[in-house]
């Protein structure tokens, strides 16, 4: 019998540069955090994401989320010789499969799914980049604006509801990260026990239950917090 041993390392040093990750940060097992990367408390790095701080640094504040399959990289210098790390503020949401390269995203900004931000881009506080957008080099997106398209251009001002949504999105991901961190820390025996519980308490329709005279209650281990949506 042959065995496959994965060489994947979730957290890896390079060029004597070691990631500095707050103890309550959730880093998914399939993510990669490499080199000169600093992540503040309550932030989360989701499945398949890569943060590669090899030729420059990556800084992420508190309460931010880098969602699944996103890429964050840096540039040693640009054509004009300017040093370009990647800086992500606090309570920032970066949607699935986004690409952030040598750019700056200020606090409480939102980057939509599949968006690409090139070298020197600055996304100011309370601004939003639409899903699938390409933001060209050295573009500055002013506070309170929505930019979309390829290349991205100004669309309109954010509403108060959208600004509130950005903050709520970050808060939701902080809570969701706690759930995933707990699940990923479970032992094999705990996982097997939950499988049995789920089978025992599997959902049946009311008519089926009434035929058996069964009243089903969901065990507390399987109940999500109120502020986490099922989807």
* pLDDT(70) > 90: yes
- Per the omega criterion (within 30 degrees of 0), is the bond before 151 cis? yes
**Rg, the chain, Cα only:** 21
**Structural domains of the chain sorted by starting position, each given as residue range(s) with its CATH number in brackets:** 11-161 (2.160.10.10)
H helices present in the chain, as ranges: 160-184, 188-200, 206-212
Of residues 26 and 215, more confidently modeled: 26
pLDDT for position 4: 65
pLDDT in tens, 163-221: 999 999 999 999 999 999 998 988 888 888 878 877 776 666 666 556 555 555 665 65
* pLDDT(223) > 70: no
Q: How far is CA 70 from CA 9, 100, 206, 207, in A?
A: 17, 8, 43, 45
* pLDDT(5) > 70: no
Q: What is the pTM of this model?
A: 0.82
Q: Which of 18-32, 54-68, 118-132, 184-198 has the lowest mean pLDDT?
A: 184-198
C-alpha 162/C-alpha 167 separation (Å) is 9
Mean per-residue pLDDT over the chain, rounded: 88
Residue 71: helix, strand or coil by DSSP? strand
C-alpha 93/C-alpha 107 separation (Å) is 10
Render the burial of 22-54: b for 16+ CB within 10 Å, e for the rest: eeebbbbeebbbbbbbebbebbbbbebbebbbb
For the chain, first and last CA: distance in Å?
40
């Amino acid at each position: 019998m042959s065995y496959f041993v994965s060489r994947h390392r979730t957290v890896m040093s390079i060029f004597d540069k070691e990631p500095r990750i707050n103890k309550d940060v959730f880093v998914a097992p399939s993510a990669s955090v490499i080199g000169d990367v600093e992540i503040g408390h309550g932030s989360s790095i989701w499945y398949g994401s890569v943060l590669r701080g090899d030729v420059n640094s990556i800084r992420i504040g508190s309460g931010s989320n880098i969602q699944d399959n996103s890429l964050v990289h840096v540039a040693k210098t640009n054509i004009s010789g300017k040093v370009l790390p990647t800086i992500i503020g606090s309570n920032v949401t970066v949607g699935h499969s986004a690409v952030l390269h040598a750019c700056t995203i200020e606090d409480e900004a939102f980057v939509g799914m599949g968006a690409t931000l090139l070298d020197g881009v600055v996304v100011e506080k309370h601004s939003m980049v639409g899903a699938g957008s390409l933001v060209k080099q050295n573009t500055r997106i002013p506070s309170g604006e929505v930019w979309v398209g390829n290349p991205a251009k100004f669309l309109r001002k954010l509403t108060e509801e959208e600004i509130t949504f950005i903050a709520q999105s970050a808060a939701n991901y902080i809570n969701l990260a706690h759930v995933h961190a707990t699940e990923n820390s479970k032992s094999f025996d705990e996982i097997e026990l939950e499988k049995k519980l789920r089978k025992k308490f599997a959902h049946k329709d009311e008519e089926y239950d009434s035929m058996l005279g069964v009243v089903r209650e969901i065990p507390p281990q399987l109940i999500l917090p109120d502020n986490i949506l099922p989807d």
